[in-house]
Structure 1
Amino acid sequence: MRSQRIARLPPRERVLDAAHELFFNEGITRVTVDAIAAKAETTKMTVYRHFESKDVLVLEWLRLMMAEYDEVWGRLAEQFSAQPARQILGFAEFLVQEPVLSSHRGCAYTNTLAELPVCDSPARELIEAHKRRQAARLVRLCEASGIAEPEQAAFELTLLLEGVQIVAQNKGFDEVGPNLLKLVRARLGLPAA
């Protein structure tokens, strides 16, 4: 079935699809361009025709994931336009849904950062900029919610939202998703579900 789906996609999208699956599940340093080409059912030459290097492909993969997260926030802003706290809770609900929370790999951004030995790599800079935008968004939403000390609240929420992926991955606690939502609701001053 996967072969039929891949065959219908244009080569560039097949490469990105394959890269996403491989980078997410195996990490960026372990995955070769040959492996990406094989997974995409194409040639290494085709990969390089669309992406001049593996580093460029990694950047495009990160940008696509960031765009997906922005789409989630956009839908939440539309759905809960006058409820900024509910937007934050909605993002927490997104994080704890299957298969997002049950991934054996945790956060793709954190994993990618761990694999980047160079502190000034373009991929690291892209991830750090994304994380700063996310933090600023949380501060704005906390301010709009009337939460006292919005920067502190955004920091605490970030620890919860980032940490849940690690706690779920290491299987140290049960009911990670429901407990996260309970903590986020409490921090936002929202009633219990």
Structure 2
Amino acid sequence: MTAPVPTLAPLTPGGRRVLDAASRLFYERGIHAVGVDTIADAAGVTKKTLYDRFGSKESLVVAYLQHRDARWRAHVAAHLAQVPDAGPDRVLAVFDAAISWSDENSPKGCSAINARAEIGEGTDDHPVFPEVSRQKAWLLDLFADLCAEADVPDPRRTAEAMMLLYEGAIVTVGMATFAEPFVVARRWARTLLTQG
């Protein structure tokens, strides 16, 4: 089964305010555009509190990504709980979760993809990279598990197709290329899941 999301140590009220402020600012403005002074001001704490809790801006970025990922996973789990029986509808529940999540939580696309793109090339040792890879591997593994449970032919390759549809949709959300990309992706996912 898929690996759990790493859990952060319990946060003090000040640490929680830092993470909440950083999460909002990093997503809205971008990682490079937001400095620790801005985060500390928005959280109503000192820079010392920020560094005492998170150690560095890089660690705070990873915590931001993990926090969003934990919220997303809980959202997916709630949708999967509504479709307890194995089958195509359970696979499609991931797309249903994305439809209900994206407008409010991801109007600029995927925070992990955005962070990976913003960090750029030549910094392969940056801690954002393994975090982004972990999140994407989890989603692919989830699709693979759901496809295997649904007894679809070649579940791993079908999961890869689901992942491509999902990732294409989340990028399209961020680019605003056309309306309701997850609805379109879900429609094609259903076709793939039911054609065999």
TM-score normalised by length of structure 2: 0.82
Shift of 1:172: 2.5
Structure 2 CA distance for aligned equivalents of residues 177 and 66 of structure 1: 18
Residue number among 34, 58, 61 corresponding to 1:58 in the alignment: 61
Change (3 A) 1:168 1:59: closer
Q: Is the aligned partner of 1:81 residue 2:87?
A: no
Residue number among 11, 16, 32 corresponding to 2:14 in the alignment: 11
Q: Is the aligned partner of 1:158 residue 2:163?
A: yes
Specify every segment of 5 or more residues in structure 2 that has no aligned partner in the other structure, as ranges.
1-11
Residue number among 177, 181, 194 corresponding to 1:189 in the alignment: 194
> May I ask how many residue pairs the two structures share in their alignment?
180
What SS does the aligned partner of 1:148 have? coil
Identity of aligned residues (%): 28
Change (3 A) 1:176 1:20: same
AA partner of residue 42 (structure 1): V
Query: Deviations 1:144-185 (Å, cap 9, x if unpaired)?
Result: 111112122111111111111222332332343432221222
Structure 2 CA distance for aligned equivalents of residues 120 and 85 of structure 1: 39
The residue that corresponds to 2:6 in the other structure is none
Residue number among 21, 33, 37 corresponding to 1:34 in the alignment: 37
Shift of 1:13: 0.8
Specify every segment of 5 or more residues in structure 1 that has no aligned partner in the other structure, as ranges.
1-8
AA partner of residue 87 (structure 1): R
Structure 2 CA distance for aligned equivalents of residues 124 and 21 of structure 1: 20
Residue number among 93, 100, 115 corresponding to 2:118 in the alignment: 115
Shift of 1:128: 0.5
Structure 1 CA distance for aligned equivalents of residues 163 and 56 of structure 2: 33
The residue that corresponds to 1:128 in the other structure is 133
TM-score normalised by length of structure 1: 0.84
Change (3 A) 1:74 1:170: closer
Structure 1 CA distance for aligned equivalents of residues 115 and 15 of structure 2: 22
Alpha carbon RMSD of aligned pairs, Å?
2.0
The residue that corresponds to 2:5 in the other structure is none
What SS does the aligned partner of 1:99 have? helix
Shift of 1:21: 0.4
